[in-house]
Amino acid sequence: MAPTLASALTLSATAYTTKISTKLLCRSIKVEGLPILLDALRERPLSSISSLKGKEKEISLGVEGGASVEESGGLGRRGIVTVCNHNSVIDDPTMWSMLPVSNYFPFASPSHTSRNTRWTLGASDIMFTKPWHRQFFTNGQVIETFRGKGIFQPAVDHAVKLLQDGEWIHIFPEGRVNQENVNPQGGLLRFKWGIGRIIMDSKIMPEIIPIWISGYDQMMNENRGFPRPFPRPGAKISMTVGESLTDRIQPLVDQWREMASKEPGAVGVGGDWAETGTEQGDGGRLKDIRSKGDMAQGGEKDVRIKICEVLQEGVRQLGERVERAEGRFDRGDWSQSTRRVSST
């Protein structure tokens, strides 16, 4: 889908609003490691992407605005997946106020704004309940996702396909806000398996970047009283971008690709299930097998779970470093990265 002016205006207005509001409301704002993300977002000569080998380049490589390689001057990038702890209901879009102003329209074209803004998944029963909500979040690059329909639903297929075009997918793999009132012992909630499927089904290995955010629970604590819809002032917030986890995940994805190569028909790699473009026949049957965890004698499910475990540990390690520097452990504060050890 080509970027639209309405989408660019929605993304930009939201970004500028959150930039202004965080500066006015927050006592301090700290950003570390942002060049790692900005470098991954940069379009570059295809010949310089050494990690993509011949056949992978032929399959797909994201080119800005959907142009051909020739039209783009040979520029492109591989897809990007960012994974982050979920600290409050305003994590997204507030955390993206820390991106450069130049990312957004009218300082950039609609295609550039879309290209340099994350896509994410949002629950249908929360974010798409009214027509104007649906329009706003659709323009804001949120993919409508249905609870209970599993990780092989069309929304996840869509996310996989976006990666093939070099787009940026951001996921909160915990699947819900994680604060002390819902998780008194602390520590990350188990990552949902959808993030594993998005990564392992990408035809081209995406760049996988961990992010840790802190202090957003001070702005929108789940126990807040009246006026509940509004952020609280005085928070100290931070966003830390960590080093890529791609090399840790690549061997697991290679295992899955070896399994997939031995299966007949479409198995969901690239977000495709049936050669005809429908979900009937062999594609539908294989989707059912994968959804039950039975593909490759359970090997596919094992790889998916392991990917999530590696991702979670990578995010946890980043969070522990941030929270240790904040002094949380010295003060005995609640920690989102580390569970409390019982004294009994």
* Residue 340, in any domain of the structure: no
How many CB atoms are closer than 10 A to CB 49?
A: 16
Q: Are 17 and 93 in contact (CB under 8 A)?
A: no
The helix (H) or strand (E) run that includes residue 255 is helix 246-261
Residue 180, Ramachandran bin (φ over 0: left; ψ between -120 and 50: alpha; else beta): alpha
Number of structural domains in the chain: 1
- At 165-178, the pLDDT tens digits run 999 999 999 999 99
* Residue 196, in any domain of the structure: yes
Relative to beta strand 80-84, strand 207-214 is: parallel
* Residue 231, in any domain of the structure: no
CA dist 63 and 327 (Å) reads 43
Residue 183 belongs to domain spanning: 5-42+77-220+236-331
- At 271-285, the pLDDT tens digits run 988 654 444 446 688
* Residue 47, in any domain of the structure: no
pLDDT band at 62 (very low <50, low <70, confident <90, very high): low
pTM flag (> 0.75): yes
User: For the residues 63-81, what does the mean pLDDT come to?
Assistant: 64
- At 152-166, the pLDDT tens digits run 999 999 999 999 999
pLDDT band at 145 (very low <50, low <70, confident <90, very high): very high
* Residue 149, in any domain of the structure: yes
What does each C-alpha distance from 81 to 29, 73, 322 come to in angstroms? 24, 25, 21
* Residue 339, in any domain of the structure: no
* Residue 61, in any domain of the structure: no
* Residue 52, in any domain of the structure: no
Percent of the chain with pLDDT over 70: 88
More confident residue, 68 or 90: 90
